[in-house]
Amino acid sequence: MDTVEKLRVLSRDSRYDLACACGGSRQEHRRRGADGRWLYPVVLPGGGYTVLLKTLLLNACANDCKYCPLRAEAGFRRCSLGPEEVARLFMEYLRRRMAFGVFLSSAVTGNPDSTMERINGAASILRRKHGFKGYIHLKLIPGASDAAMEESLSLASAVSLNIETPGERHFATLSGKKDFAKDIIRPLGLMGRLTGRGMRYSRVKCTTQFIVGAATETDREIIDYVYRLYGGMNFKRVYFSAYQKGAGAPDIPGERRAETLPNEVFIREHRLYQADFLARRYGFTKDEFIFAPGGNLRLDKDPKEAWAEAHPEYFPVRLNTSAREELLRVPGLGPETVKCIVAARQGGKIRSPEDLGLKGKRLQKAMKYLVCE
């Protein structure tokens, strides 16, 4: 294959890793470029968005992750890009103003450090040879040395390492080669420490991703880990990727469940993104989420509305006098709407929710829990 054909294959295979984009808002959804490559919007640390070219350097993997279509025993078209090729291709995208940043990942070849050498090598060429000062997201390989990870941090704007599942028990059903404590949790902790406030790499954003539904994990277990990642480990974003039928080995739990409940995992993914937003933007604690029997978030209602229904004593909230934190608990009201309410109250009494631009289903939902004095 020539370089362009290899990029087509490898950028397609990189779509399974969402730890840089997707979820949250419409602006974060990936899109396909005119040439068929996937381009990913990403939020910048200082605000605003940029567009990333995302690709693997290699898709022939030595690991056995049973949820992954690129696992060692799977049969598909294998190829690789060298660090110089990747850097040259990206600089051409940049010149043509098709992408303004890059996400580099790779399947594992040889050992984790030899794979990290390829990833870091491409980033180093971009930074030092081409003088690129923009956004670079680098994927850290489970089992890589501290030195290899620190080199990535010195080159990157953001780094990610996928946690995959909440805990050793679930992780063991998906991989027999990787060790959850040594290859996943220990490096996640190192990432958090090295990027903490006042540390050398505090400017670098850390993210991770759960594979939802491949094992038998519950949403309760995932959310418990989400709060650990945000609280004690300094992570900026957690992403969720619904396991897709046919992607992994036929004997994993997610494959069997997809036969009988094909759409459930995608609703679960959506509910987890909503819960994540409540954790990051609304001040919800992990104990405030309402779970259905079995430990998953309710599929029929978003987590905020489920909480509101379980706490009738909290309502109604007064549109003109309640505090910002109280307004944020009202289903249908988001941070921007609440900001508008607080600002509008400075100019006098709000006569009706319609004055704030609320309409349709959002208005109907909010009015169950609001009173406009």
CB under 8 Å to 307, separation ≥6 — which residues? 284, 288, 289, 290, 329
3-state secondary structure 256-280: HHHHHCCCHHHHHHHHHHHHHHHHH
pLDDT of res. 32: 53
- Cβ proximity of 171 and 184 under 8 Å: yes
Residue of 231, 241, 239 whose CA lies nearest to 207: 239
Q: Do domains 3-303 and 314-371 have the same CATH topology?
A: no
What is the band of 127 on the pLDDT scale with cuts at 50, 70, 90?
very high
Q: What is the pLDDT of residues 128-153, one digit of tens each?
A: 999 999 999 999 999 999 999 999 99
Can you tell me whether residue 60 is helix, strand or coil? coil
The pLDDT tens digits of the residues spanning 29-67 come to 555 555 555 555 555 555 566 788 888 898 888 888 888
Instruction: Specify the pLDDT at position 105.
Output: 92
CATH number for the domain running over 3-303: 3.20.20
Q: Quote the pLDDT of residue 369.
A: 94
pLDDT score of 169 more than 70: yes
Q: Please state which of the four CATH numbers 3.40.50, 1.10.12, 1.10.150, 3.30.1370 is assigned to the domain occupying 314-371.
A: 1.10.150
Q: Which two tokens stand for residue 348?
A: 């006098």
Contact 229, 238 (CB under 8 A): yes
* pLDDT tier for residue 372 given thresholds of 50, 70 and 90: confident
The H or E element containing residue 153 is helix 146-155
Task: Give the tens place of pLDDT for each residue, 84-102.
Answer: 999 999 999 899 888 889 9
SS3 category, 241: strand
- Domain boundaries defined on the chain: 3-303, 314-371
CA distance 111 to 141: 9
pLDDT over threshold 90, residue 314: yes
